[in-house]
Amino acid sequence: MKTAILGAGSFGTALAVVAAQNSDEVFIWSHSKDVVNDILSDHMNSYYLPGIKLPEKLRASQDLEEVLLKADNVISVIPTQVTREVWLKAKKFTPENARILVASKGIECDTNELLSDVLLETLGDSFRDRIFFLSGPSFAREIAEKRPTAITIAGYNIDGVTELQSVFFSDFVRTYGTIDVTGVQLGGALKNVIAIAVGISDGMNMGNNSRAAIITRGLAEMARLGKIMGGDPMTFMGLAGLGDLVLTCTGELSRNRSVGIKIGQGYHIDEILNNMRMVAEGVTTTRSAYELSKSKNVMMPITEAVYRVIYEKRKPSEIIPTLMSRQVKFENE
């Protein structure tokens, strides 16, 4: 069995470590010649996952055709905003029977589409039963270090979900399955927005009470939008919802929380992003989530507050009183 990974960032590299457990061949694609050479020469990805020795069987290439040739499984770990662009090139090299597992967590800007829509528009509806989505609480470094992790795989095809569960099952990764494609994707994307909000709170030293409140009410926002868009509200109580939310909002390895902390400390968003090597998906997802909330008439006050801070350049200290003075209501409203 051959597994191909598109995207050699930290998460793509970590998933290559997992795939190597149950695949005969593992190929990873990167647009960066330096990353490819690093993996081939030293079995390391010192640019995105330094200090981790990669499996000897892992091969790297800048050539999409070479990576995708005869692949049984294709793992797409490309930043959300360039996923469509890369797959427009990759589709002609993708084997007819390959399963595609999307591990990116975001919403496409401008269209505000989930990656399931992006992939189906790019590849065609005939791929529907071969496209799957991975999410759940999973920092790349901890996966690569083979620390115990639980993830969720969603797909329209139950049999395919079961098969992919076996591909990724190992002594350090436990896989769960679901058919809630929409809920799993939204959970993975929206939790990044709430993590930025938590980071802002932490950066302003607002305390543990505030952090817990943002996480809990943020989860309510995620589930509200998820239900309107066709997801199962219970999905947000599981690994792809609550699990990933808690990890991203509290973990020291969280990029989105780190962005929020810097904002809370008074740094400008452009300065923060310019000093980051890896992508913080929550920044662009904030805009899409805000626009979706308005178009679907869903109340998402925390998401709106993050939007106003990032895109309207409002100071967090100006926004917090607005959140705290909202009309009182029952918790399940």
How is residue 91 written in tokens?
Answer: 């589709």
Task: Classify residue 157: in a domain, yes or no.
Answer: yes
How is residue 50 written in tokens?
Answer: 């330094």
How many residues are there in the chain?
333
Domain span at residue 293 reads: 182-324
What confidence score (pLDDT) does residue 275 get? 87
CA distance 100 to 87: 11
How many structural domains compose the chain? Answer: 2
Q: Which residue among the candidates 57, 89, 92, 191 is catalytic per the annotation?
A: 191
> Nearest 5 degrees, angle CA 303-CA 293-CA 279?
50
Task: Classify residue 217: in a domain, yes or no.
Answer: yes
Same domain, 170 and 23: yes
Output the CA torsion sign for 164, 165, 170, 172: positive
Residue 315 annotated in active site:
no
In tens digits, the chain (333 residues) has pLDDT values of: 999 999 999 999 999 999 999 999 999 999 999 999 999 999 999 999 999 999 999 999 999 999 999 999 999 999 999 999 999 999 999 999 999 999 999 999 999 999 999 999 999 999 999 999 999 999 999 999 999 999 999 999 999 999 999 888 889 999 999 999 999 999 999 999 999 999 999 999 999 999 999 999 999 999 999 999 999 999 999 999 999 999 999 999 999 999 999 999 999 999 999 988 777 899 999 999 999 999 999 999 999 999 999 999 999 999 988 888 787 788 877
Same domain, 307 and 189: yes
Helix axis angle for 181-203 and 281-295, nearest 10°, is 110
**Biggest alpha carbon–alpha carbon distance for the chain:** 61
What's 7's domain CATH number? 3.40.50.720
CB 149, CB 173: distance < 8 Å:
yes
Q: Distances in Å between the alpha carbon of 155 and those of 18, 115, 119, 133, 179?
A: 20, 12, 13, 6, 5
> Nearest 5 degrees, angle CA 158-CA 159-CA 165?
90
Same domain, 149 and 245: no
What confidence score (pLDDT) does residue 71 get? 97
Task: Classify residue 193: in a domain, yes or no.
Answer: yes
Closest by CA to 43, choosing from 34, 54, 29, is 54
Place of tokens 């904002």: 263
What confidence score (pLDDT) does residue 159 get? 95
Same domain, 158 and 194: no
CB 5, CB 49: distance < 8 Å:
no
What confidence score (pLDDT) does residue 169 get? 87
Task: Classify residue 111: in a domain, yes or no.
Answer: yes
What's 310's domain CATH number? 1.10.1040.10
